[in-house]
Amino acid sequence: MEERVAKPVRVQRWTANRKREIVLDILKGHKTIVDVAREHDVKQSEIQQWIDTFIAVGTQALKVHPRSAEAVEQKELTRHREKIGELVLQIEVLKKAEAILSEEESSFYD
């Protein structure tokens, strides 16, 4: 009798939901990383990275109180706004410097 070898299942796009299902199957012991790698023709190291990311983010979610998470987000938002303000000022300074240099250049040739 001829033994059938399963072909790897090619996934067009690895969405977060598909990755989550794979990770959960592995964590629950339903499948191994090796099995999933063979089944989907994905590197074991890539699957391990999905697991590591899933656990890291999940751990963070369990550590942070919702109010604390909001405070962290607000702090981050404030930091980004400050940086945007700095960059806008730099752009304005550069525009003024360019205008001054253009005036000097045009008066030099007159």
Question: Residue ranges of the domains in the chain?
Answer: 12-63, 65-110
pLDDT surpasses 70 at 108: yes
* pLDDT top residue among 92 and 73: 92
pLDDT at 5: 58
pTM to 2 decimal places: 0.50
H/E stretch holding 107 = helix 66-109
**Phi–psi pair at 7, nearest 5 degrees:** -80, 145
Question: For residue 43, what pLDDT band results from cuts at 50, 70 and 90?
Answer: very high
Tokens of 25: 């199957």
pLDDT surpasses 80 at 55: yes
pLDDT surpasses 60 at 91: yes
Distance CA(96)–CA(100), nearest Å, equals 6
Distance CA(108)–CA(105), nearest Å, equals 5
Tokens of 32: 């191994």
Residue with tokens 């399963």: 6
Instruction: Please tell me whether residue 24 adopts helix, strand or coil conformation.
Output: helix
Question: For residue 7, what pLDDT band results from cuts at 50, 70 and 90?
Answer: low
* H runs (alpha helix) in 30-65: 33-40, 44-63
The predicted model gives 4-33 an average pLDDT of 85
Residue 13's identity, in one-letter code, is R
Question: For residue 9, what pLDDT band results from cuts at 50, 70 and 90?
Answer: low
Residue 50's identity, in one-letter code, is W
Tokens of 74: 């607000």
**Average pLDDT taken over every residue of the chain:** 87
